[in-house]
Amino acid sequence: MLVYILRRLLLWIPAVFLVLLGVYALAFYGAGDPIKLIFLRSPGDVAFDPARIEAIRESAGLNQPFLVQFWNYIWNVLHGNFGNSLLSGRSVWRSISAAAPVSMQIGLLAIAITALVAIPLGVLAALRQNTALDYAILGTALFLWAVPPYVAGPLLMVLLLVVFPQADMSYGWGGLLDARIILPLLVISFHPIALIVRQTRAAVIEVLSEDFVRTARAKGLPAHKIVLRHVLRPVLTPVVTQLGLIMITLVNGAIFVELVFGLPGLGRLTIQSLLNSDYPIILAVTLIASVLVMVSNLLVDLAYPLLDPRAAARRST
C-alpha cells in the first residue's frame, strides 16, 4: 500500500515537471523576445534604443540560459508570481484570481450535476438493457457527446429565441443564483454526462453478470437493495477513474461556453490572451489547468486502493 503510493508519487512529480518544462519551452522559443513584444505594443513609450533594451534585458534576467530562466519562472510561480501581462502590464495572478472563481463555481456545479444525473441514468439504462428506454438514454448520450459545446450553446440560444421570443437572453454573468447561468451550465455538463452515462452503463452490465449479484438474487433480495448494496459500489471504481477526463472536458467546455455566453472566467481570459498573443497569461492558464488535471489523476490513483484493492495491486506492478 505504502509502496504503491510512493510509486505513484515518484512517477507523478517528474511528470508534472516535464509538462511544465514542455509548455514553458514552447512559449519560450515560440513567442520570441518578450522585450521586443512589449516594445512592439507601445512603440511611442520608449525609444527603440538597443543599449537600453539590453539594460532592461539584463535587469529582468532575460539573457540568462533557458534552464535558469525556467527555474526562476517555476520559483516565482511557487510564490504566486506569474509575471505581468504583456498587454496591460497588470499582474497575471490578479487577472487569474479574478477569473478563476467564475470557472471554478461552474465547473464544480457541473461535476455535481453530472454525478446526480449521469450515474442514475447509466444504472437505469443498464437495468433496462436493450429496451426502448436504454436506447433512448444511450442515443441521447451519444448525441450529447458528438455535439461540441460551441454548437450546442448557440443552437440552444436560437431555440430559446424561437420558443420564447420575449425571453431575457442568457448572456453574461450574475453569479450562480442568476437565471442566466442555466444554459451555460447545461451545455458545459453535456460532455461529462455523456461520458459518465456510457461508463456507468457498461460497468453495471459487467457487474450484473457477477456471481455475487446472482447470489443476492437467488436469496430473494429485492432489486433496489441489490443495486444499492451490491452493484453500485464496484461500479463506482471505473466511474471515478474518469475524473481526469472529466476535468479535461470541463476545461475545454469552459473555453467555449464562456466565449459563447460571455462569462468572465478563465476560458474567456485564455481566448482574449490568445487573440492578443499575451503569452504570460496563456502560459499560466495552461500550467494551472494541466496541474489541475494531473492532481485529479493523482487523486484517482491514490483513491484506487481504497475502492478496489485488487486493481491497485495489479496496477502497482
Residue ranges in contact with other proteins by CB under 8 A: 11, 15, 18-19, 23, 26-27, 29-32, 129-130, 139, 142-143, 145-148, 150-152, 154-155, 157-158, 161-162, 169, 205, 244, 247-248, 251-252, 255-256, 259-260, 270-271, 274-275, 277, 279, 282-283, 285-286, 289-290, 293-294, 297
Is 134 or 221 the residue whose CB approaches other proteins more closely? 134
Is 37 or 221 the residue whose CB approaches other proteins more closely? 37
Closest approach, Cβ 208 to other proteins, in A, equals 10
Closest approach, Cβ 114 to other proteins, in A, equals 17
Paired residues of 84 in beta bridges: 91
Closest approach, Cβ 242 to other proteins, in A, equals 12
Closest approach, Cβ 297 to other proteins, in A, equals 6
Rounding to the nearest 10 degrees, give the CA dihedral for residues 246, 251, 255, 258. Answer: 80
Is 31 or 117 the residue whose CB approaches other proteins more closely? 31
Cell for 298? 493523482
**Separation between Cα atoms, residue 136 and residue 187, nearest integer Å:** 19
Helix H, strand E, coil C: the string for the chain is CHHHHHHHHHHHHHHHHHHHHHHHHHHHHHHCCHHHHHHHHCCCCCCCCHHHHHHHHHHHCCCCCHHHHHHHHHHHHHCCCCCECCCCCCEHHHHHHHHHHHHHHHHHHHHHHHHHHHHHHHHHHHHCCCCHHHHHHHHHHHHHHHCCHHHHHHHHHHHHHHHCCCCCCCCCCCCCCCHHHHHHHHHHHHHHHHHHHHHHHHHHHHHHCCHHHHHHHHCCCCHHHHHHHHHHHHHHHHHHCCHHHHHHHHHHHHHHHHHHHCCCCHHHHHHHHHHCCCHHHHHHHHHHHHHHHHHHHHHHHHHHHHHCHHHHHHHCC
Closest approach, Cβ 250 to other proteins, in A, equals 9
Closest approach, Cβ 219 to other proteins, in A, equals 25
Is 31 or 221 the residue whose CB approaches other proteins more closely? 31
Which distant-in-sequence residues (6+ apart) come within 8 Å of 2 by Cβ?
A: none
Is 55 or 169 the residue whose CB approaches other proteins more closely? 169
Closest approach, Cβ 252 to other proteins, in A, equals 5
Is 118 or 259 the residue whose CB approaches other proteins more closely? 259
Is 53 or 259 the residue whose CB approaches other proteins more closely? 259
Is 64 or 277 the residue whose CB approaches other proteins more closely? 277
Give backbone dihedrals phi and psi of 178, rounded to 5 degrees, phi first: -85, 145
Closest approach, Cβ 32 to other proteins, in A, equals 6
